[in-house]
Amino acid sequence: MKAHDRFLKYVTYDTQSDAESTSAPSTPKQLILADELKKELEELGLQNVIRTPQGIVYATLPATDESMPSIGFISHMDTASELSGKNVKPRVIENWDGSTIVLNDEYSMNPEDFPQLKTVIGDSIIVTDGTTLLGNDDKAGIAIIMQTLDELKNSNQPHGKIMAAFTPDEEVGRGVENFDLSEFPVDFAYTVDGAEVNGVDYETFNAAQAEVTIHGKSIHPGSAKDQMINAAEIACRFAAAMPEYMTAEHTEGREGFIHLISVSGECEKSRLIFIIRDHNRTLFEKKKEWMRKVCSAYEVLYPGRIELNIHDQYENMRNYADEDLSTVKKAYRAVEKEGLIPVSLPVRGGTDGAVLSARGLFCPNLGTGGGNCHGRFEFASCDKMDQMVRILKNIALEDVK
């Protein structure tokens, strides 16, 4: 069995999380995959396999050499909310030649429109049928870790203790809110939730979510003059007030943004939800202050009442890096053993590792080899998954603390 065989099974599980839910996990269906992973880990012969009531799965591959460092690998089970993750129908294209990929009668993709595809020309790749997302983010990470554990368990090579953890609700910012660090005592830890196989990412956004609630007053439209306060109209104007240069679609690299992710409501009450992101803490705080000023201005411009609730989600992981970057350098060496040049770029997003780093477990992010995540154009690479298994094994087998 290869990593992609596991992946093809995992994507058949609908594990979409729900940002509106307050339960843990946010959707009960995530527990179905969690139970399957627990069963697989037990069948592999791992020890201390636990599935918590909140859906986190922990497992340990005991050391064959106690003098070697202990390593932890983490991936998440849930998929994003932008597109359905139900009834995923993956299709394998062997040795893809770079030509246009027809997903269905309506959708197709090619390297010109989706440059990430250029990294997998010549690989056997996995795509969707155009009606759902694929789930490379992050079921590819789970498959890579599972395959790594399997191969290490059945090898004669010495290694330290290897721990795995699979989390729910990463996509809604709650992946490790119930993560018990006492169940995960390791010297080095990594999430496997990135893109490029040579990526070793340890700088993320600072992140917050802003919820704007606009309270209006509904009156029959025929007699609304000077009485109606249309919260939906005000919400539209509020969204339109966002400067284009500050939006996600006009930023790149280290440029932060304020991104409108949803609008809902009617005349009586409307709600807008934004996410606020910036690598620079000062600029991050300025963006939050900008939101406060806009809300204050709109309360003056328009009748009605506007509420703003901002809550921080995670911090830039770089703030919590080990002083000598030993965790990062260990991953660099593992990537170099594959003949690749390791690259660390500022992540335009966040990972479970960002939150764990703030809690004391510095946790850089490694790649999966897939891309175009959170939509119908998502893809995975069978070859890159195999390469990532080798990189994880390189990390596990290196006798350097």
Binding residue positions: 76, 137, 171, 193, 374
| Angle ∠(15,21,26) on CA atoms, nearest 5 | 35
How deeply is 263 buried, as exposed, middle or buried, from its count of CB atoms within 10 A (0-12, 13-18, 19+)?
A: middle
Pair of tokens at residue 314? 């995670």
Q: At what angle do helices 136-153 and 3-10 cross, to 10 degrees?
A: 140
Strands (E), 168-297: 188-194, 200-201, 206-215, 257-265, 269-278
Pairing state between β 305-314 and 206-215: antiparallel
Question: Of 170, 196, 352, 398, which is the active-site residue?
Answer: 170
Give me the sign of the Cα torsion angle 233, 235, 236, 242. positive
Q: Cβ(26)–Cβ(171) under 8 Å?
A: no
Give me the sign of the Cα torsion angle 120, 121, 123, 128. positive
For 98, 110, 114, 124, 371, the CA distances from 120, given in Å and listed in that order, are: 8, 12, 11, 8, 10
Q: What is the dihedral of CA 17, 21, 26, 27, to 10 degrees?
A: -70
Strands (E), 216-266: 257-265
Active site (annotated) includes residue 78 = yes
| Binding-site annotation, residues for Zn(2+) | 76, 137, 171, 193, 374
In angstroms, rounded to a whole number, what is the distance separating the alpha carbons of residues 373 and 34?
Answer: 21
Q: Buried (b) or exposed (e) across 183-209, using 16+ Cβ within 10 A?
A: ebebebbbbbbbbbbbbbbbbbbbbbb
H helix or E strand, kind and range, residue 57: strand 57-61
Question: Of 40, 78, 150, 315, which is the active-site residue?
Answer: 78
In angstroms, rounded to a whole number, what is the distance separating the alpha carbons of residues 70 and 389?
Answer: 17
Active site (annotated) includes residue 307 = no
Residue in this structure with the two tokens 């998502």, named with its chain if needed: 378
Q: Chain centroid to CA 135: how far?
A: 11
- Active site amino acids: 78, 170
